[in-house]
Amino acid sequence: MRTPLIAGNWKMFKTVRESVAFVIDLRDRVAGLTGVDIVVAPTFPALHAVAGALEGSPIGVAAQNLHWEREGAFTGEVSAAMVREAGAAWAIIGHSERRTLFGETDDTVNRKVRAALTATLVPIVCIGETLQEREAERTLDVLDRQIKAGLDGVTGTELAGMVLAYEPVWAIGTGRTATPAQAQQAHEHIRGRLTQWFGQDASSRCRILYGGSVKPDNIAALMANPDVDGALVGGASLDADGFTKIVTRGRR
């Protein structure tokens, strides 16, 4: 049985002070809530302070990105070991904004996944098709390519503890959500491929999140699908009231 996971991706929003105030409030709002795991992903400068404010709380902290090298002359980059030491236990990898705006490829995603695992971070690996790819009926091929290349060299044991996030690019920040049926179709396909490539045990334990304009009023219908194990939430995770509703309605 997979515990649902609701992860909030704050993107480039909230200062350090705003981030800390937000999680102090959130911690109280979700105190005692069972049947769901919660993660927030602040900006790099806020990671350490947010992790400190959440010490002793079940809410996890994720980095939004990392570099695959441990250290070196890579101006502007932050390594997996560094975010781990700052207090993050999770890392979002290969978000579509990173792929489209910052040139990330399946190869760099794979390097980052391996670096995260080495640093004992739980990778949340984002995959998903563009509108053009969906309209050309290439969705499942794109997902296959992203999974195969992005998870190259990952073992079944590692996969079991990992998280994949199916995020159709056309649904991110657009207010246009995949229908529950579209989400389930993609998730079922992903689960099938994971079974084929990593084995039944790993596949049945790996959590697959849906992401793309998740809101308090659509989370329940998405979560009613057997292969949807939670959500990666962008815009709606920035509001404590809305995010708490999503977390509460995302429980199983």
| Residues engaged in binding ligand PEP (CB under 6 A) | 9, 167, 172-173, 211-214, 232-236
Shortest Å distance, C-beta 233 to ligand PEP: 5
Question: 180-198 vs 139-150: helix axis angle to the nearest 10?
Answer: 40
Using the minimum distance from each CB to ligand PEP, give the nearer residue, 20 or 232: 232
| Longest alpha-carbon distance in the chain | 48
Which positions are annotated as active-site residues? Answer: 95, 167
Using the minimum distance from each CB to ligand PEP, give the nearer residue, 116 or 202: 116
Q: Which residue is nearest to ligand PEP (CB)?
A: 234
Amino acid at site 124? I
Give residues with Cβ within 8 angstroms of 188, minimum separation 6. Answer: 227
Helix (H) or strand (E) holding 126: strand 122-127
**Main-chain phi, psi angles of 31, to 5 degrees:** -55, 130
Shortest Å distance, C-beta 93 to ligand PEP: 12
What's the start-to-end Cα distance of the chain, in Å? 10
Shortest Å distance, C-beta 115 to ligand PEP: 21
Using the minimum distance from each CB to ligand PEP, give the nearer residue, 26 or 172: 172
